[in-house]
Amino acid sequence: MKVTKIALLLGAAALVPSLASASTLEEVVKKGDINCGISTGIAGFSSTDSKGVWEGLDVDFCKSVAAAVFGDASKVKYIPLTAKERFTALQSGEIDVLSRATTWTATRDTSLGLNFAGVNYYDGQGFLVNKKLGISSAKELSGATFCIQAGTTSELNLTDYFQSNNMEYRAVTYDTSGQTVNGFKSGRCDVITSDASQLYGLKLKLDDPDSAIVLPEIISKEPLGPVVRQGDDEWFNIVRWTMFATLEAEELGVSSANVDAMLKSENPSIMRLLGKSGTAGENLGLKGDWVYQIVKQVGNYGEMFDKNVGKDSPLNIDRGLNKLWNQGGLMYSMPIR
Partner 1 sequence: MNKSQLPPATTGGLLSSPRNRAIIFQCLALLAVVACAFYFTSNMFDNIEKRGITTGFSFLGETAGFGVSQSLIAYDDTTSTFLDVFIVGILNTLLVGVIGIICASVFGLLIGIGRLSSNFIVAKLSLVYIETFRNIPILLQILFWYNIVLAALPGPRQSFSYFESIFLNNRGLLLPEPIFQSGSIFILIAFVIACTAVIFLTRWAKKRHDQTGEEFPLIKVSLAILIVSPLLAYFVTGQPITAEYPALKGFNFQGGLAIIPEFLALTFALSIYTATYIAEAVRAGIEAVASGQKEAAESLGLKKHVILRKVVLPQALRVIIPPVINQYLNLVKNSSLATAIGYPEIVTLFSGTTLNQVGQAIEIIMMTMAVYLTFSIVISLLLNWVNAKMEIKGR
Applying CB under 8 A, the residues found at the interface with partner 1 are 1-3, 6-7, 9-10, 13-21, 83-84, 86-88, 91, 107-108, 111-113, 133, 142-146, 148, 150-152, 155-156, 158-160, 162-163, 169-175, 179, 182-183, 186-188, 190, 229-231
Least distance from partner 1 to the Cβ atom of residue 135, Å? 10
Nearest to 103 by CA among 79, 86, 78: 86
**228 touches 236 (CB < 8 A):** yes
DSSP string, 49-73: -TTS-EESHHHHHHHHHHHHHHS-T
Q: How far is the CB of 17 from partner 1 (least distance, A)?
A: 6
Looking at beta carbons only, is 11 or 314 nearer to partner 1?
A: 11
Residue nearer to partner 1 on the CB measure, 111 or 326 = 111
Pair 257, 267: CB distance under 8 Å: no
In the bound state with partner 1, the residue whose beta carbon lies nearer, of 21 and 326, is 21
Residue 129 CB contacts under 8 Å (≥ 6 apart), including other chains: 135, 141, 190, 191, 212, 213, 215
Q: Which one, 117 or 245, has the nearer CB to partner 1?
A: 117
Please, what is the minimum distance in Å from the beta carbon of residue 133 to partner 1? 8
Shortest gap between Cβ of 238 and partner 1 (angstroms)?
Answer: 19
Nearest 5°: phi and psi at 222? Answer: -130, 85
Nearer residue to partner 1 within complex by CB, 173 or 256 = 173
Rounded-to-integer distance, Cα 101 and Cα 81, Å: 11
In the complex with partner 1, the residue whose CB is nearer, 169 or 305, is 169
Q: From the CB of 84, what's the least distance to partner 1, in Å?
A: 5
Question: CB 129 → partner 1: shortest distance, Å?
Answer: 10
- Asked if 270 contacts 262 with a C-beta cutoff of 8 angstroms, the reply is yes
Identify which of 235, 333, 241, 253 has the alpha carbon closest to the alpha carbon of residue 281. Answer: 241
Residue 32 DSSP code? T
Report the nearest approach of partner 1 to the CB of residue 20 (Å).
4
CB of 68 vs partner 1, minimal distance in Å: 24
Q: Which is nearer to partner 1, 32 or 113 (CB)?
A: 113
Report how far apart, in Å, the C-alpha atoms of 281 and of each of 73, 96, 149, 209, 290 are: 17, 20, 39, 45, 6
Contact predicate 95/35, CB 8 Å? yes
CB nearer to partner 1: pick between 29 and 150: 150
Q: What is the DSSP string of 149-218?
A: ETTSHHHHHHHHHHHHTT--EEEEEESSHHHHHHHHHTTS-SEEEEEHHHHHHHHHHSSSGGGEEE-S--
